[in-house]
Copies of this chain bind each other. A is one copy, B any other.
Amino acid sequence: MVALLESYKDRVEKINEYIMRSLEVVENKNLKAAMAHYPQAGGKRLRPLLATISCEAVGGRWSAAMPFGAALELVHNFTLVHDDVMDNDETRRGIKTVHTQYGVPEAILAGDALFARAFELIPDSDTHDDRLVQLVDIIAKAVRLLAEGQQMDMDFEDRKTVKDTEYMKMIELKTAVLYSAAAQGGAVIGESSEQEEEALREYGRLVGLGFQIWDDVLDLTSDQKTFGKPVLNDIRNGKKTLIVISALEDLHGKEREDLFKALGNKKATPDQLVAAKDVLDRAGAIDHAIEIANGLVKGAKDKLSVLKDTKHKKCLESFADYTVTRKT
């Protein structure tokens, strides 16, 4: 699976160059530094990769979709900057968050400017004007839905219980729409048929859902060194993930107590956190989530049946598998 990312190393390098070059237009030094803080810290660039591979899978050139893919990456980074302000997080993957380093006003502004810059990049995508207009619509709608998802996530924090269907809706908005936009937009740029575009849109959505559930799993089953960020964070923050939701349906007595000792308790001890994780594990909730993630990814791969058999289609299959087998 790592082989997949390895095979796109050169492409990721070109995407990174394009992204960093796109920020050079910013004149104000403070603003530019705050905008570049996350993009220059690296990342797997999964959304640009998905956009460019989708473009190839319908017969297009990958580079035609690079500006659109970079726009998605800037949008992703803009949401990270603003989410970190909203969540008061001090670090992200080992570096200071933008607002911790540059201040809250600067972080709000840097996010806004990354968002604006993303829309400036779209017209650089190599396709016809009617398709460029469609790409604008795809990204704008995705960001509006992302905001709905983030608001839903915040609303959940104030609630005692959340249903699994509500959780699925939330991660669809907060995570899956951008993967869906990446795959659909790549197809649009590659001049796909409507059937292919629809299939890739749905593929991206299912992959995005699987990605997020797998992220919840990794938070519980990985270690900080492998995961690249602190683990058991979702328990500490009281996140009502699918794992917690499904466990709560069955848990009683001491086990339920053990979970609630740690869930949403910012001062929970490492022992309490591990005890809560063990409760979730013994309840079968982690395995249940893994099964669901695998089912989503299988569904995603099934959607690809309308595409011609090419190496790019195989890469999309590997991409889907990667989202629910990755260690980081």
A residues at B contact (CB < 8 Å): 25-28, 30-31, 78-79, 82, 85-87, 104-106, 108-113, 115-120, 122-123, 128-130, 132-133, 136-137, 139-141, 143-144, 146-148, 150-152, 154-155
Given that A106-B151, A151-B30 are known contacts, is A143 also in contact with B130, CB under 8 Å in the complex?
no
Measured between alpha carbons, how far is A122 from B136 in the docked complex, in Å?
9
Q: Shortest Cβ distance from A150 into chain B, in angstroms?
A: 6
A87 partner residues in chain B, CB cutoff 8 A: 105
Chain A interface, DSSP helix/strand/loop, else mixed: helix
A143 partner residues in chain B, CB cutoff 8 A: 112-113, 115-116
Q: Shortest Cβ distance from A236 into chain B, in angstroms?
A: 18
A132 partner residues in chain B, CB cutoff 8 A: 129, 133, 136
Q: Nearest 10 pairs between A and B by C-beta?
A: A119-B140, A86-B105, A116-B143, A129-B129, A113-B147, A116-B144, A31-B151, A120-B140, A129-B130, A28-B151
A82 partner residues in chain B, CB cutoff 8 A: 108-109, 112
* Closest Cβ neighbor of A34 among chain B residues: B151
How many copies altogether? 2
A109 partner residues in chain B, CB cutoff 8 A: 82, 86, 147, 150-151, 154
10 CB contacts below 8 A, A to B, read A28-B148, A79-B112, A82-B109, A86-B109, A113-B148, A116-B141, A116-B143, A116-B144, A123-B133, A123-B136
Q: When the two chains form the complex, which single residue of B111, B116, B146, B147 contacts A140, counting CB atoms closer than 8 Å? A: B116
Q: When the two chains form the complex, which single residue of B86, B104, B106, B123 contacts A137, counting CB atoms closer than 8 Å? A: B123
* Closest Cβ neighbor of A78 among chain B residues: B112
Q: When the two chains form the complex, which single residue of B30, B119, B147 contacts A155, counting CB atoms closer than 8 Å? A: B30
* Closest Cβ neighbor of A155 among chain B residues: B30
A118 partner residues in chain B, CB cutoff 8 A: 140
A147 partner residues in chain B, CB cutoff 8 A: 31, 109-110, 112-113, 116
A120 near B108 with CB under 8 A, answer no
